[in-house]
């Protein structure tokens, strides 16, 4: 999921299953084995899915791709934050795994540290991958790895509440019509909208559709457009359309609020689809609207399958075969039972839609989405994001106006990225 950035294990678990029920096998430290034929032996694989054991579909898929390539895969699953630090350390020590599956914003960090091969070197085919999804793994014109899928954000809505308030969800096409809907909902004694504005990457992840939907750019946090986005969220709290709890809400806790059946809208991701299908809530899904109409660009979550640098570059040929197997159309779709990820290619997306038409709004949302490190932000993104979530916190808590909060954020971001 969040991806995003997938900061919560529960979300990661759903996302992992979503990504084609891709489960992994336990991995150890280094990929480059001493001596021997690079086309045989053991290849190491690290991923952010520690919740998957040896019986999972993902593990079986990984093992089968190793067998198809003529090798044995030794896999280890780490928590997302641990995976990044261990990957950096292993790269510095020259002991990287042969394949590394990482959250997409981490790709630029590892690439700029010189720890990843690019697709020109490995020969990976990215021609069929949607450009906006692939962009999250691109740095300075080079592509590092292949996405296994993407997820993003949209608005879930409670049909019963909207019916009671006389709101047609099809009428919600921009910020004004959404705010009008929230006013009608609260007028009949119901709760409006819940989202995550916590002071972490999850908060930035959830704010970005509104930020980008205003027309704002992450290189200018204090622009008039940026202020309008933060003013929207702040106004919703002041008017009682959103609860104060959003300041501390993770994507998990805000989802729990929506699942009480008391809220008209909840901003959340693809990874929650299986859960709401199993609930008693009569729900629908719409794209997050841009300020002046149309779907807002939401950030992409999801992982990239990368090939770290090895001392023996003969190993790349087998690593690429494993990578190609794991990201083939059949493997992106066939074992995907929860469909929390939208596949990165048109062919696989069409197969997903044929199996589950409920994915249509998510395919649309992913089509409009963009990578957080896109626009050549690379490793500057985390520094900018930190100041953005701080600005959101300061404004929603009332400690600063939207203008003041974002001006302070821009000053800090400029200093951090100079």
The residues facing 75 across adjacent strands are 45
Q: CA dist 52 to 26, 47, 289, Å? A: 9, 10, 36
**Which residues are 304's β-sheet partners?**
102, 147
Tell which phi-psi region holds residue 198, choosing left (phi > 0), alpha (psi between -120 and 50) or beta: beta
How far apart, in whole angstroms, are the C-alpha atoms of residue 84 and residue 47?
Answer: 10
> 37 and 161: one domain?
no
CA distances to 24, 88, 153, 308, 315 from 42, rounded to whole Å, are 15, 22, 38, 16, 11
Residue 66: inside a domain: yes
| Residue 372 counted as domain residue | no
Could you tell me if 350 and 384 lie in one domain?
no
333 lies in the same domain as 210:
no
Does one domain contain both 107 and 35? yes
Sign of CA dihedral 46, 85, 375, 232: positive
* Same domain, yes or no: 284 and 312: no
Rounded Cα–Cα distance for residues 322 and 64 (Å): 9
Mean of per-residue pLDDT scores for the chain = 88
3-state secondary structure of 292: coil
Residue 338 confidence (pLDDT): 39
Q: How far is CA 266 from the centre of its chain?
A: 17
Domain assignment of residue 371, yes or no: no
The per-residue pLDDT for range 13-29, each reduced to its tens digit, is 323 333 333 322 223 33
Residue 17: its pLDDT value, please? 31
39-57 pLDDT per residue, tens: 789 999 999 888 888 888 8
224 exposed, middle or buried (CB, 10 Å; 0-12, 13-18, 19+)? exposed
- Length of the chain in residues, anyone? 418
Apex CA 238: angle with CA 235 and CA 240, to 5°? 105
pLDDT band at 334 (very low <50, low <70, confident <90, very high): low
- Please give the residue range of the domain that contains residue 390: 153-298+377-417
Asked, for residue 381, whether it belongs to a domain, the answer is yes
SS (H, E, C) 121-152: HHCCCCCCECHHHHHHHEECCEECCEECCEEC
Cβ pair 46, 366 in contact under 8 A:
no
pTM value is 0.82
Q: Output the pLDDT for position 36.
A: 55
Residues 133 and 31 in one domain: yes
pLDDT for 273-323, tens place per residue?
888 999 999 999 999 999 999 999 999 988 999 999 999 999 999 999 999
- The rounded distance, in Å, linking the Cα atoms of 134 and 104 is 9
Residue appearing with tokens 């704002």: 216
Do 139 and 128 share a structural domain? Answer: yes
DSSP H helices, 76-173, are: 80-92, 104-112, 119-122, 131-134, 159-165
Cβ–Cβ < 8 Å for 139, 306: no
Identify whether 231 is part of a domain: yes
Residue at 413 is within a domain: yes
User: What is the count of structural domains for the chain?
Assistant: 2
**Do the beta carbons of residue 16 and residue 302 sit within 8 Å?**
no
Return the CATH number at 83: 3.40.190.10
Q: Is residue 369 part of a domain?
A: no
Residue 3 maps to a domain: no
pLDDT at 58: 86
Cα distance between residue 324 and residue 384, in whole Å = 34
Using one digit for the tens of pLDDT, what is the confidence trace for 132-170?
Answer: 999 999 999 999 999 998 989 999 999 999 999 999 999
The tokens for 89 are: 């350390």
């Amino acid at each position: 999921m969040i991806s995003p950035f997938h900061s919560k294990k529960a979300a990661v678990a759903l996302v992992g299953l979503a990504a084609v029920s891709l489960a992994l096998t336990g991995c150890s430290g280094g990929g480059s084995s001493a001596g021997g034929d690079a086309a045989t032996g053991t290849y190491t694989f690290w991923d952010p899915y520690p919740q998957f054991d040896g019986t999972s579909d993902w593990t079986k898929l990984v093992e089968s791709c190793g067998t198809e390539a003529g090798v044995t895969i030794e896999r280890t699953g780490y928590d997302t934050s641990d995976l990044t630090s261990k990957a950096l350390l292993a790269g510095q020590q020259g002991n990287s795994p042969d394949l590394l599956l990482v959250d997409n914003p981490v790709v630029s960090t590892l690439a700029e540290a010189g720890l990843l091969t690019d697709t020109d070197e490995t020969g990976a085919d990215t021609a069929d991958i949607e450009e906006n999804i692939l962009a999250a793994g691109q740095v300075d014109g080079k592509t590092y790895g292949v996405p296994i899928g993407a997820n993003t954000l949209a608005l879930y809505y409670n049909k019963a509440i909207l019916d009671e308030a006389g709101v047609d969800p099809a009428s919600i096409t921009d910020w004004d019509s959404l705010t009008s809907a929230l006013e009608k909902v609260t007028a009949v004694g119901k709760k409006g909208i819940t989202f995550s504005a916590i002071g972490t990457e999850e908060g930035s992840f959830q704010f970005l559709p509104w930020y980008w939907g205003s027309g704002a750019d992450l290189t200018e946090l204090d622009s008039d457009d940026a202020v309008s986005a933060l003013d929207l969220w702040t106004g919703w709290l002041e008017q009682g359309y959103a609860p104060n709890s959003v300041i501390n809400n993770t994507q998990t806790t805000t989802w729990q609020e929506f699942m009480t059946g008391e809220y008209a809208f909840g901003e959340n991701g693809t990874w929650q689809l299986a859960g709401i299908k199993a609930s008693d809530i009569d729900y629908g899904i719409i794209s997050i609207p841009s300020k002046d109409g149309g779907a807002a660009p939401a950030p992409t979550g999801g992982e990239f399958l990368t090939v770290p640098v090895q001392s023996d570059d003969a190993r790349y040929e087998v690593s690429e075969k494993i990578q190609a197997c794991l990201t083939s159309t059949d493997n992106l779709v066939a074992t995907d039972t929860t469909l929390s990820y939208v596949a990165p290619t048109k062919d696989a997306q069409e197969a997903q839609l044929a199996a589950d038409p409920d994915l249509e709004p998510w395919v649309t949302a992913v089509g409009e989405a963009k990578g957080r490190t896109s626009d050549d932000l690379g490793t500057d993104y985390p520094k900018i994001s930190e100041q953005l979530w701080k600005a959101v916190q300061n404004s929603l808590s009332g400690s600063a106006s939207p203008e003041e909060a974002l001006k302070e954020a821009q000053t800090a971001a400029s200093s951090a990225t100079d």
